[in-house]
Structure 1
Amino acid sequence: MKIVVYHAEECDRKKCTTVKLGKQGKVKVVTKLNQLPTGAIVLDPYSPKSLSVEDRETVMEKGLVGLDCSWKRLNKVPYRIKTGKNSRSLPFMIAANPTNYGKPCILSTAEAIAASFYIIGFKDIATDIMSGFKWGPHFLTLNEELLESYSKAKSSLEVVEIQNEYIS
């Protein structure tokens, strides 16, 4: 499956999960927005629509795109232009990466990609993505109950309902 990550080069490359995934050959890293695949699902924390199993076929056919850049910049042009109708947010999860451990919804790019594959029904890909990090398997364990629930949801609306029920 095609996994592409736009890397804005705004982080410490030694700690960057995108750089590590690229070196492991698990993702294609690009530095220009015009290198993103057309029609792919784009992970965007500002998207009003949550990722769900409904997106599985699109990911299989067109791919999955992660955006490794400052969330503060993500809501500005040119990022908004590229995400469009195929943008999806991820539901509530807890970060396990060393930089943001225990913080809700502040996932590394690797965590976001792994969670996406888990939610759309590719748990083996999620496990493979996280296997390259010492803390990676813990992310899946920490969020296992939520990920299982999200992966059983039939729609984006159901994913959001599960998230809201969990948060309350």
Structure 2
Amino acid sequence: MSRTGPRVVIFHANQCDPKKCTGLRLVRLWHASLVRDIRRIPRGTVVLNPVAETALSRDDRDTMVRHGLVALDCSWKQAEDIFKMSRHGRQRALPY
């Protein structure tokens, strides 16, 4: 099976029920790779961060294709601390 689109990396903070976790499901289905240590997030990636000041745009496409896309999977109660620790890559929020 050939892969199309950017490489997807999930940072999983082990704060949810693994049976219900969408991020872990993507990893099990080989649609994403898993990172459990925030320092292991690949450099140069686009990091989806809901508190980022810049929205994801078409300008980020080349970076995503070249380096990948990171989703941070954590509890909203501890999300702000996790997002502050994540300084690798381009921090982007989803546009509304």
Query: Shorter-normalised TM-score: what interval?
Result: 0.7 to 0.9
Q: Distance in 1 between matches of 2:51 and 2:30?
A: 28
> How far did 1:80 drift?
1.3
Answer 1 or 2: higher relative contact order, Cα 8 Å, separation at least 6. Answer: 2
Unaligned runs of 5+ in 2: 1-5
- Higher CA-based Rg: 1
Moved over 3 A (4+): none
Which structure has more helix as a fraction of its residues? 1
Q: Distance in 1 between matches of 2:85 and 2:16?
A: 23
Query: Secondary structure, in 3 states, of the residue corresponding to 1:66?
Result: strand
Quick one: percent identity of the two aligned structures?
36
TM-score in terms of structure 2 length: 0.85
TM-score in terms of structure 1 length: 0.51
Please tell me the residue identity of whatever aligns with 2:39.
Answer: N
Q: Does 1:4 align with 2:39?
A: no
> How far did 1:14 drift?
1.1
Q: Does 1:89 align with 2:79?
A: no
Written as runs of structure 1 = structure 2, the 5 A alignment for 1:1-168 is 1-76=6-81, 79-83=83-87, 86-92=90-96
What are the Cα deviations for residues 49-77 of structure 1, in whole angstroms up to 9, with x where unaligned?
1101110000011110000002332212x
Q: Distance in 1 between matches of 2:42 and 2:67?
A: 7
Which structure has more strand as a fraction of its residues? 2
Please tell me the residue identity of whatever aligns with 2:37.
Answer: K
1:44–1:83: 8 Å Cα contact kept in structure 2? no
Tell me the C-alpha RMSD between the 2 structures.
1.5
> How far did 1:85 drift?
6.4
